Amino acid sequence: MSAQPAESLPVIFPTVPGKVAGIVNMTPVTVQCQECGALATCETVGLPSKIGKTGEAACVLILSGFHFHSYPWSDGRTDNPRLCRPCRMARQCQCHRCREERRGA
């Protein structure tokens, strides 16, 4: 993969049909932040690559920290893409979940 200029827009891949939004590949399971385009796989979250298909998706989703936002955004935004932790934190949300997460929970 070649280096991208910082100002180029991230490529957001389409979700695999029938999967939860943000799962963009199943072999290997790949989860994407739908804002900055960061990708997470077993490898990036530090899992052994051979944990089996069923566990793989769940583990990558949980360990990547690429989540939907569980509460209303405190600034009134109504969108809810799957976001990596830095993107969620960058929204400066003051809800209880984001405040906990900012403290490292």
Q: Taking CB under 5 A as the rule, does residue 45 contact Zn ion?
A: no
Residue 24 near Zn ion by CB under 5 A: no
Please, what is the minimum distance in Å from the beta carbon of residue 72 to Zn ion?
A: 8
Q: Over 12-48, what HEC string results?
A: CCCCCCCCCCCEEEECCEEEECCCCCCEECHHHHCCC
- The correct pick among 29, 38, 40, 42 for binding Zn ion (CB under 5 A) is 38
Sheet containing strand 23-26, edge to edge, reads 23-26, 29-32, 39-40
Number of other residues whose CB lies within 10 A of the CB of residue 61? 19
Question: Cα-atom radius of gyration of the chain, to the nearest Å?
Answer: 14
Site for Zn ion in 52-91 (CB under 5 A): 84, 87
Minimum gap (Å) between residue 49 Cβ and Zn ion:
23
Q: Which is nearer to Zn ion, 53 or 77 (CB)?
A: 77
Is there binding between residue 93 and Zn ion (CB under 5 A)? yes
Does position 42 interact with Zn ion (CB under 5 A)? The reply is: no
